[in-house]
Amino acid sequence: METIIKTATASSPYLEMNGSKGQITISGRAIDYNPTEFWSDVFSWTTDYLENPLETTTINLNFEYLNTLNTKKLFVFLKLLEFMGSKKTDIQINWLFEDDDEDMHELGEDINSLLRLEMHFIPVEELIEELIK
């Protein structure tokens, strides 16, 4: 399965989708007011991957900021995983947030409350440094 890597921009997050590792990482700011291209790539790759996923699939979400449009797209992505993937692969979702960012922690909890998948909440000192480690 093809690995997709997209560099972060001022308005869209870093993206790495690695089928051979069973890992998807989305990290940074998601404030693009027309996020269709970014998320269509995510949906398309994920749909293909879930046809024959690894035993465990890890999703790492590390957002500095997420606007309403991107929050909706993220939720659709997580529902896609829940609907298509939960019977084919063990899905591990890690929601990383800066330990002093209560808003981002609360947003993750709100999204998690609408899912049947369990999120693991991981406070970190700085998201950028945590991504590099």
Each residue's pLDDT tens digit, 102-127 = 999 999 999 999 999 999 999 998 76
- Which of 23-27, 48-52, 85-89, 93-97 is least confident? 85-89
d(CA 53, CA 22): 7
In this structure, is the dihedral angle defined by the CA atoms of residues 58, 127, 108 and 9, taken in order, positive or negative?
negative
pLDDT, residue 128, reads 60
CATH code for the part of the protein at 4-132: 3.30.750
Q: Give the orientation angle of helix 102-113 with respect to helix 68-80, to 10 degrees.
A: 40
61-92 pLDDT tens trace = 999 999 999 999 999 999 999 988 778 899 99
pTM exceeds 0.85, yes or no? yes
Q: Residues 113, 81, 60, CA angle at the centre, nearest 5°?
A: 75
